Chain A
Amino acid sequence: MDFTGFISVLTFSGPMIGSLLVFFFRKNLISSSVSLISIFIAFLCTLLCSFELGKSGQYVIVPLNGFYIDGLSILMQFMAEIVAFFGILYSIKELLKLYEHRKKNFYLFYCAILLSTGFMNLSFMLNNLFLVYISLELSSIVAVYLITFNLSKEALKAGFRYLLIVNIGILFSLVGIVLLFYATEGNVLIADMGQNVRELSKIMAFICAGLFIVGFFTKAGLIPFHTWLPDTYSQAPTAVTVFLSGGITKIGLYGVTRTLTVFSSHLEEIKLLVILLSSVSMLFAAILSFSQKDVKKLIAYTSISEMGIIAGAFAINSYLSIFGGLFHLLNHTLMKATLFFSIGALIYIKGTKIIDELKGIGRENTSTATSFFIGALAVGGLPLFGSFYSSVTIFLAFYQSNMPWTSVLLALSGFISALALLRAATKVFWSNAHPQISLHVPLTLKFCFLFFSFSLILVGIFPQTVYPLLHIAAMGILKIVN
């Protein structure tokens, strides 16, 4: 095995070995430290992989037989590792206060995060769609333990619903892969997707694309397959919510990119169907966010709306739209982490997620308030934030592909989502109510949301820092398509 092969194996085996160590040591301090270290090692390996990809001068590297690493794999791995790292950091204090009744099982919590990250990283690198399916399925199944960690009735119900809907939804994509395997006489390699889809009969392509839509849209939590998402985000610990929004649901979009982008480039009808469904998600999720009383559910709905924007951009299938979609994918992770982490700090103080019960609690928490407002304004796609550039890029891409109505929907949904978030923010941060409790937010929690809000601004001011990676990722996707 050469150096590139070794580091690419470490990106997924690092967290997996870490989870084994945590399982044996069990002590809280050791568990969290080992978890952080193993994720950091995986992050470093992904960084080295990205250098190797850059050095290769091509858009893809195949370090080992069965692997396929392009810019999208690297980008997805970075996002999964970053949310896992900060999720673990955030959970150290959060678990101790809000989940003390589960103290004996903290090590299992860290084990589950590490295992899920490991399987996620593995699925982003594999070439065979069957193996990608197995790996992403394992990653999302393991997350059930994290969602139900509180063991409250609501959390268990949310976990059950997640397990059922996501499992059955993703089985549809398995049938899609099986059909593709049958139709192409055994070739379901990601590298050959473009060639395979081109040779498919129209009816077979429609059936496969339909099955992939149900499967991956369910995984990404897009309307009408979204029913599991708001409850799951609401009931999971905040650290897990960020992990879910930045990692687990992104697997669905990864599937969309690897399969539906290729299908929509060859069949106009599939392209239209995906864009239509994405537009429904964009608009209706933003409207639904307005009626939420639970602040985490509100953010969850805005998240669905943005996932719709990204899925729509991937379906358009031009360089501009894919570039914008990838940029928005990155911004989505940053925005959701900022919002969930900052509101999570208030939930840490008060122990409730209901907006009316949080009234006034954020008034004297300047850092939390600033962070939440940054996240809310970024959702609206305002200048100074990275989401401004990504939204404008997707807006132009929709317009250039003769779909101005989608551009209008994009702008409208962003505006509605931001309005819903700002409405909640004014209640939580500007209300005159004076809660008679300690408003102390631990340093690790502060560090987490300040890091992400700072990153949002940084990407907004210096977007060119992420352009090279986005360019390689977009070219990697187009290489498969063509």
Chain B
Amino acid sequence: MEIIYIAILFFAFLSGESKNLKFSTFSLIPHSLLIATSVFLLGYYQKIPSLYLIAGVDFLVRAILMPVLLIIILKQRLERETKPLITHALSIALSVVLLSVIFNLVETLKIQKLPDVLSSFSCGFTLAIYGLFLLISKRDMVKMIIAFFIIENGIHFLIIALIPHLPKGIELALTFNFVVALFLFIYVTLRLNEILVFEEIRKFRESNIFYKSKE
């Protein structure tokens, strides 16, 4: 399982640090697929059938719906990320340190103090913290949505680790909340993109008129 968790963190890192937003979005697909797989495997090893359903929902929402919606946003805008608050090199360095240190630290802590908690705990905790780091350091709206998604995935993993027998209804309702929030994110971002594109066109036209009148 550990190799799957490391792969999940790796794809989260790729998604968070890539300058190309399309690549970031596509990196979310293996990230989410691995999440669904790990939930399924946890269900299988721990003999918790309700986790199969959750894995199925995760596959639909996280691995298919989320990337599709992000690609819709990207159709209307540049694929390059808006300049973040910190330099790219520093961001990569901090991310590597953060991901490796927190994952190992929490894993050790979990083995010593929380032996009955499921193995997804350390990965979930690391994802949530990494998502917060992305949220603070990035300024691009798409990257912020990705950061929100990574935090949400982390908390989803935490819930599964701490309460694998959470009633299915509550788990599904939590996913429903996430989907509603996601749709509203997409709605607001698309509308904002429309305005920004419109403003760019207006500025371009004005500058053309200015140069023509000069000539």
Contact: B188 with A148, CB < 8 Å?
yes
In the assembled complex, the Cα of A160 lies from the Cα of B148 at a distance in Å of 12
Which residues of chain B (144-191) have a CB below 8 Å from chain A? 144, 148, 151-152, 155, 158-159, 162-163, 166, 170, 173-174, 176-177, 180-181, 184-185, 187-189, 191
Asked if A306 is at the interface (CB within 8 A of a chain B CB), the reply is no
Asked if A181 is at the interface (CB within 8 A of a chain B CB), the reply is yes
Asked if B195 is at the interface (CB within 8 A of a chain A CB), the reply is yes
B184's partner among A131, A134, A163, A168 (CB-CB below 8 A) is A163
Contact: B191 with A151, CB < 8 Å?
yes
Contacts of A152 in B (CB 8 A): 195
CB contact under 8 A between A157 and B192, given known A138-B177, A141-B184: yes
Contacts of B174 in A (CB 8 A): 130, 134, 174
Specify the main secondary structure of chain A where it touches its partner: helix
A175's partner among B158, B181, B191 (CB-CB below 8 A) is B158
Asked if B127 is at the interface (CB within 8 A of a chain A CB), the reply is no
Contact: B158 with A163, CB < 8 Å?
no
In the assembled complex, the Cα of A178 lies from the Cα of B128 at a distance in Å of 14
In the assembled complex, the Cα of A145 lies from the Cα of B174 at a distance in Å of 20
CB contact under 8 A between A178 and B170, given known A167-B148, A168-B135, A168-B151: no
Asked if A156 is at the interface (CB within 8 A of a chain B CB), the reply is yes
Chain B min CB distance to A362 (Å): 32
Asked if A137 is at the interface (CB within 8 A of a chain B CB), the reply is yes
Contact: B180 with A156, CB < 8 Å?
no
In the assembled complex, the Cα of A179 lies from the Cα of B144 at a distance in Å of 26
In the assembled complex, the Cα of A182 lies from the Cα of B113 at a distance in Å of 14
In the assembled complex, the Cα of A141 lies from the Cα of B158 at a distance in Å of 23
Which chain A residue has the least Cβ–Cβ distance from B174?
A: A134
Contacts of A55 in B (CB 8 A): none
In the assembled complex, the Cα of A151 lies from the Cα of B117 at a distance in Å of 46
Chain A min CB distance to B198 (Å): 10
In the assembled complex, the Cα of A134 lies from the Cα of B152 at a distance in Å of 14
Chain B min CB distance to A153 (Å): 5
Contact: B163 with A156, CB < 8 Å?
no
In the assembled complex, the Cα of A171 lies from the Cα of B157 at a distance in Å of 13
In the assembled complex, the Cα of A83 lies from the Cα of B173 at a distance in Å of 27
Which residues of chain B (61-100) have a CB below 8 Å from chain A? none
Contacts of A163 in B (CB 8 A): 181, 184-185, 188
User: By the criterion of a CB under 8 Å from any partner CB, how many residues of chain A are at the interface?
Assistant: 29
In the assembled complex, the Cα of A287 lies from the Cα of B195 at a distance in Å of 35
Asked if A159 is at the interface (CB within 8 A of a chain B CB), the reply is yes
In the assembled complex, the Cα of A122 lies from the Cα of B10 at a distance in Å of 41
B163's partner among A131, A168, A178 (CB-CB below 8 A) is A178
Contact: B188 with A130, CB < 8 Å?
no
Contact: B195 with A182, CB < 8 Å?
no
Which chain B residue has the least Cβ–Cβ distance from A151?
A: B191
Which residues of chain A (449-475) have a CB below 8 Å from chain B? none
Contact: B151 with A171, CB < 8 Å?
yes
A171's partner among B152, B184, B192 (CB-CB below 8 A) is B152
Contact: B180 with A164, CB < 8 Å?
no
Contacts of B170 in A (CB 8 A): 130-131, 134
Contacts of B33 in A (CB 8 A): none
Contact: A160 with B189, CB < 8 Å?
yes
In the assembled complex, the Cα of A145 lies from the Cα of B199 at a distance in Å of 23
A181's partner among B152, B162, B187, B196 (CB-CB below 8 A) is B162
CB contact under 8 A between A168 and B148, given known A134-B173, A141-B181: yes
Asked if A144 is at the interface (CB within 8 A of a chain B CB), the reply is yes
Of B148, B189, B192, B196, chain A has the most CB atoms within 10 Å of the CB of: B192
In the assembled complex, the Cα of A393 lies from the Cα of B76 at a distance in Å of 56
Which chain A residue has the least Cβ–Cβ distance from B152?
A: A171
Which residues of chain A (135-175) have a CB below 8 Å from chain B? 137-138, 141-142, 144-145, 148, 151-153, 156-157, 159-160, 163-164, 167-168, 171, 174-175
In the assembled complex, the Cα of A390 lies from the Cα of B51 at a distance in Å of 50
Contacts of B132 in A (CB 8 A): 168
Chain B min CB distance to A162 (Å): 9
- Having A171-B151, A174-B174, one finds 17 other A-B pairs with CB under 8 Å, namely A130-B166, A138-B177, A142-B180, A151-B191, A151-B195, A153-B195, A153-B196, A156-B195, A160-B144, A160-B185, A160-B189, A163-B188, A164-B144, A167-B148, A168-B148, A178-B159, A181-B163
Offer 18 A-B interface pairs, CB within 8 angstroms, sorted by A: A130-B174, A134-B173, A134-B176, A138-B177, A141-B184, A148-B187, A148-B191, A151-B195, A153-B199, A156-B188, A156-B191, A156-B195, A157-B192, A163-B184, A164-B185, A174-B155, A174-B174, A182-B117
Query: Interface of A with B (CB < 8 Å)?
Result: 130-131, 134, 137-138, 141-142, 144-145, 148, 151-153, 156-157, 159-160, 163-164, 167-168, 171, 174-175, 178-179, 181-182, 186
Q: Which 6 A-B pairs have the closest CB atoms?
A: A182-B162, A156-B192, A134-B173, A144-B184, A130-B170, A160-B188
